Amino acid sequence: MVHDLSATATRFSQLDEASTLATQAWISRLDSPLQTSETGPLAGLSFAVKDNIDALGLPTTAACPRFSFKPNQHAPVVQCLLDSGASLLGKTNLDQFACGLNGSRSPYGAVPNAFDAPYVSGGSSAGSAYVVATGQVDFALGTNTAGSGRVPAGLNNIVGLKPSKGLISARGVVPAAQSVDCVSIFARTLAMATKALPAAFRFGVPDSLEFFADTLEQESYAQAIDRLTAMGGIRVDIDYAPLPPPQPLPGLLPEPVVASAGSPWLAPIRRVCRSMASSPSGRPVWCAPQRPCPTMRFTLCPVPCRPSPAWCALPLARGVASHWKSGRCRCRCRCRNTDPLWR
């Protein structure tokens, strides 16, 4: 169950904020909220930014004081939120350079869990998750490279939305692994997270599904589509036809097959079998020399061998010697060994 806004607000309003809220969740805070527009879909909402995302007027540290610099403009995602009427309160703590999943690898202090301080908050977007979970802001920006936008959300019982890569610009973000970095959103409800998403999102719906007479599941599925659409999502139907039957991979021998002495794939084996018999099944069988091989190695005969009295295949797991001595197999392959390992 995700945080209920009223319950969270009540819980913390009954306590002294200075003594209950972890100040180390923040790296820098503005003296007054930054608001550039009083109108827009996010008017009246407040947000925080993980301190590896640029915000004009605040240093970007990535939780490393010696790395700190002052950006000359907002990251595009921050600018978009401000233009939509949201107010920026400050920048939040993180595992240094966004490398960590527990929220404690920062010189600014370890961010505690919102429910029980001795426990970790999760990272690397620890501060952003904490300030949302404790009701200090309506939503917050984090980043997600491996799990930084989802792990702290799970540990603090909030929503962590990881948009598809490229849906939100990652310009103005200190890279951790640039090929997979993306900006994430923390909120107490899914509705708030999608509202704060500064871009329309699309969701895939298979064009054909079988519910096997489970009407309850079918109704729930339809309701989920309706909810996503109501949140502003754009439905995209995708082809969900079953995969075609498996086909032989190029270069692999199809089954069944009867090997021949001229087969190029048998050239490295360097064995020539003089038996001209063929297996009733049309498949090659394992061939053994007249004497057990000390190395327990097997190779395929170029031509299927004729065992007596019944057709059989030597099992690899048992080895030649144990199978030969058991008396259960009377294979007599008339082979000329050219490989010294078999002499």
The beta-strand segments (E) located in the chain are 26-34, 46-50, 87-92, 139-144, 159-161, 182-187, 202-206, 234-238, 271-273, 286-287, 299-300, 335-337
Question: Does the active-site annotation cover 148?
Answer: yes
Which residues, in sequence order, are CB contacts of 40 under 8 Å at separation 6+?
83, 84, 85, 86
Which is the catalytic residue, given 28, 46, 106, 124?
124
What's the CA angle centered on 34, arms 32 and 36, to 5 degrees? 140
Which tokens sit at 232? 């502003």
ω before 250 within 30° of 0 (cis)? Answer: no
Which tokens sit at 121? 């908050």
Q: Are 269 and 249 in contact (CB under 8 A)?
A: no
Give the 3-state secondary structure of residue 154.
helix
Which is the catalytic residue, given 148, 184, 195, 279?
148
CA–CA separation, 194 and 161 (whole Å): 8
Question: Does the active-site annotation cover 50?
Answer: yes
Please spell the DSSP secondary structure of 45-104, one letter per residue: -EEEEETTB-BTTB-B-TT-GGG-B--SS--HHHHHHHHTT-EEEEEE--SGGG--SSS-
CA–CA separation, 10 and 259 (whole Å): 79
First vs last Cα of the chain: how many Å apart? 71
* Most distant CA atoms of the chain, gap in Å: 94
The alpha carbon of residue 173 and the mean position of all alpha carbons in its chain are separated, in whole angstroms, by 21
Which tokens sit at 152? 């702290």
Question: Does the active-site annotation cover 87?
Answer: no
Which is the catalytic residue, given 28, 46, 50, 195?
50
Catalytic residues: 50, 124, 148
